[in-house]
Amino acid sequence: MSALIELKGVGAAYGQSQVISGLDLAVATGGITALLGANGAGKTTTLRAICNMRVRVSGEILFAGKRIDGWQTEDIVRLGIGHVPDGRGTFVHLTVAENLVLGAYTRGDKAAVAADMERVFGYFPRLKERLGQQAGTLSGGEQQMLAIARALMLKPKLLLLDEPSFGLAPLVVQEIFRILRRINEDDSVSMLVVEQNANLALDLATDVYLLETGRVVLNGSPALVRGNEQVRRAYLGY
Amino acid sequence: MAGTDPLLRIREISLRFAGIIALDRVSFDVERGQICGLIGPNGAGKTTLFNCLSRLYAPDSGAIDFLGQPLLAIPPHRIAALGIGRTFQNLALFRTMTVRQNILVGAHSRSRTGFVSDALRLPVVRAEEAALGAEVDDLLALLDLRAVADQPAEALPFGTKKRIELARALAGKPTLLLLDEPAGGLNHDEVDQLRALILSIRDRLAITVLLVEHHMNLVMKLSDKVVALDFGRKIADGTPDQVRNHPDVISAYLGTAA
């Protein structure tokens, strides 16, 4: 499979503080790539580097074979790269419906937006019940659902997911990961997933990278990564 | 007898938001020195309950006693000084302040000097500042934050920010510590370290802990007692084993896979 997005020798820094450097990473078209690593390894920063958001980026980033490094964040979004950031980033004072409409802001086909909202409710029926409710009054799990749903309103080709299981009850986590798999299979959305729950990430992913202090130390299939002694001890706990 | 009263006694508290029943006659006790886990589906009312304990929300009915006195009569800004500290699910740090400054803010509730003595920088103010500085150094060491003490909180990784919040809560020298999803965003190794840390907070600092957490392995290993909520109601209350095997908890929350 060809790479939908490819990072070649990418570095990213906040001011003087270099968080990732010389990073090579790819997400195959139709694939789900998981990014594992301890806190501070540079996982969130990698997602931000792709979107050219809040970090100073060096190196090459190619989307569908085209260089996009240095592009403005809004132009990167228009390519179909949806970011579900850490902390969810929902507009807490806006309603659920308003958040979803904003997710489709960059799209030209406004007529299709209503239909897509229905499609998104197919994945997250709870949001439909809460359309008029302020996002800030939703529970943590509902806010995470809203953040994913809002990114889907972009009709993304690639979803960047920063800890989709964060703050979610065990049942909901299982549900969200089932939904992510459906979105990947039914809507052909490729994904780059940062996830601390390594078991879940390895179940979902087709390709895995392990980051340590801003560098890739291991890359391979979930089976290969599961077999790695160090990964087992630090991330899987057995 | 006052000595045998629970540290925290929650009685029949109810709270609704515009027709949604967030808490529905919830009652439970937390004993002194206990680690009590609070679990339940998203939207069950766990954080809402925390917000009642920090007096950010006022329940529509019911009573909360802390240290034998009615908590609902205490204004929110007095809660920290009374001995209730907390952390937040989605972090609430002062982003541009350094780690050290964030932790110092947590000690503010204990400051005894007033506006005039502060403005004049009387010796008592300087002595207090020196003492606080030493305490903050201890907390920086305890939470492994020494290396980043003088960096702005904003640029630090999520797991580090969680530790800053915990340090800030501890700086208020709480009797009761409310932890809202302390394991969120931590990997297996880091969760193990967190468990050891919470145990030492209870054992060495004699702080009672009430924690909301979805990481079941952590909750069940750490808690003396677990309370489960669903749709604002208490559905189970008991030892970790009792709650883990409760049919309502399994169907509402854990699922068969757990």
In which band, very low, low, confident or very high, does the pLDDT at A207 lie, cut at 50, 70 and 90?
very high
Best B15, B95, B158 residue to mutate vs chain A (most A CBs within 10 Å): B158
Which positions in chain A touch B157 (Cβ < 8 Å)? 39-40, 44
Whole-number pLDDT of residue B112? 67
Q: Is residue B88 part of a domain?
A: no
Q: Which of A105, A129, A154 is the last residue of a domain?
A: A154
Q: Is the pLDDT of residue B156 over 90?
A: no
Q: Judge if A161 and A227 occupy the same domain.
A: yes
The region of weakest confidence among A86-90, A161-165, B220-224 is A86-90
The DSSP code sequence of A61-117 is: EEETTEE-TT--HHHHHHTTEEEE-TT----TTSBHHHHHHHHTTT-S-THHHHHHH
- Domain span at residue B158 reads 93-172
Q: Residue with structure tokens 């019940």?
A: A129
CA distance A191 to B197: 35
In which band, very low, low, confident or very high, does the pLDDT at B120 lie, cut at 50, 70 and 90?
confident
Q: Is residue B183 part of a domain?
A: yes
Q: Is residue B33 part of a domain?
A: yes
Q: Judge if A99 and A216 occupy the same domain.
A: no
Q: How far apart are the first and last CA of chain A?
A: 33
Q: Is residue A85 part of a domain?
A: no
E-strand ranges in chain A read 3-14, 17-28, 32-37, 56-63, 66-67, 81-84, 158-162, 190-194, 207-212, 215-220
ipTM of the complex: 0.70
Taking the CA of residue A186 and the nearest CA in chain B, the distance in Å comes to 25
Which positions in chain A touch B249 (Cβ < 8 Å)? none
Q: Judge if A128 and A160 occupy the same domain.
A: no
In terms of average pLDDT, the best of A49-53, B115-119, B161-165 is A49-53
Best B16, B17, B42, B221 residue to mutate vs chain A (most A CBs within 10 Å): B42
In which band, very low, low, confident or very high, does the pLDDT at B187 lie, cut at 50, 70 and 90?
confident
Domain total of chain A: 2
Q: Judge if A9 and A70 occupy the same domain.
A: yes
Q: Judge if B77 and B179 occupy the same domain.
A: yes
Residue of A nearest to B163 (CA): A39
Interfacial residues of B (vs A; Cβ cutoff 8 Å): 17, 39-44, 47, 89-91, 155-160, 181, 184-190, 192, 214, 216-217, 252-255, 257-258
Positive or negative, the Cα torsion across B24, B28, B34, B36?
negative
Q: Is residue B76 part of a domain?
A: yes
Q: Is the pLDDT of residue B108 over 80?
A: no
* Interchain pair B184, A198: CB under 8 A: no
- The answer to whether A143 and A88 have CB atoms below 8 angstroms apart is yes
Q: Judge if A160 and A63 occupy the same domain.
A: yes
Q: Judge if A162 and A70 occupy the same domain.
A: yes
In which band, very low, low, confident or very high, does the pLDDT at B196 lie, cut at 50, 70 and 90?
very high
Write the residue in A39, A137, A168 that is nearest to B160 by C-beta: A39
Q: Judge if B167 and B179 occupy the same domain.
A: no
Q: Residue B27: which H helix or E strand, with range?
A: strand B20-30
In which band, very low, low, confident or very high, does the pLDDT at A231 lie, cut at 50, 70 and 90?
confident
Taking the CA of residue B255 and the nearest CA in chain A, the distance in Å comes to 5
* Interchain pair A87, B91: CB under 8 A: yes
Spacing of C-alpha B229 from chain mean position: 17
In which band, very low, low, confident or very high, does the pLDDT at B258 lie, cut at 50, 70 and 90?
very low
Q: What are the φ/ψ torsions at residue A51 (nearest 5 degrees)? A: -90, 0
For chain B, give the percent of residues with pLDDT over 70.
95
- Average pLDDT (B233-243) is 97
**Greater model confidence, A94 or A197:** A94
* Interchain pair A140, B42: CB under 8 A: yes
In which band, very low, low, confident or very high, does the pLDDT at B84 lie, cut at 50, 70 and 90?
very high
Q: B142-151 pLDDT, tens per residue?
A: 999 999 999 9
* Interchain pair B255, A171: CB under 8 A: yes
Q: Judge if A7 and A124 occupy the same domain.
A: no
Q: Judge if A227 and A164 occupy the same domain.
A: yes
Taking the CA of residue A76 and the nearest CA in chain B, the distance in Å comes to 23
CA distance B86 to B38: 14
Q: Which of B172, B205, B223 is the last residue of a domain?
A: B172
Q: Is the pLDDT of residue B202 over 50?
A: yes
Q: Judge if A117 and A150 occupy the same domain.
A: yes
Q: A17-62 pLDDT, tens per residue?
A: 899 999 999 999 999 999 998 888 999 999 999 999 989 999 999 9
Write the residue in B186, B192, B252 that is nearest to A196 by C-beta: B186
Q: What is the mean pLDDT of chain A?
A: 92
* Interchain pair B89, A140: CB under 8 A: yes
- Domain span at residue A123 reads 94-154
Pairing status of strand B69-70 against strand B233-238: unpaired
**Greater model confidence, A166 or B208:** B208
Q: What is the dihedral of CA B8, B11, B16, B19, to 10 degrees?
A: 150
A-B interface: how many C-beta pairs under 8 angstroms? 94
Q: Judge if B12 and B31 occupy the same domain.
A: yes
Q: Judge if B131 and B194 occupy the same domain.
A: no
* Interchain pair B185, A44: CB under 8 A: no
Q: Which of B117, B151, B172 is the last residue of a domain?
A: B172
Amino acid at B38: L
Which positions in chain B touch A235 (Cβ < 8 Å)? 187-189
Whole-number pLDDT of residue B1? 46
Q: Judge if A161 and A48 occupy the same domain.
A: yes
Q: What is the pTM of this model?
A: 0.81
Q: A110-159 pLDDT, tens per residue?
A: 788 888 999 999 999 989 999 999 998 887 778 889 999 999 999 999 99
Which positions in chain A touch B160 (Cβ < 8 Å)? 39-40
* Interchain pair B47, A170: CB under 8 A: no
Is residue B42 classed as helix, strand or coil in its secondary structure? coil
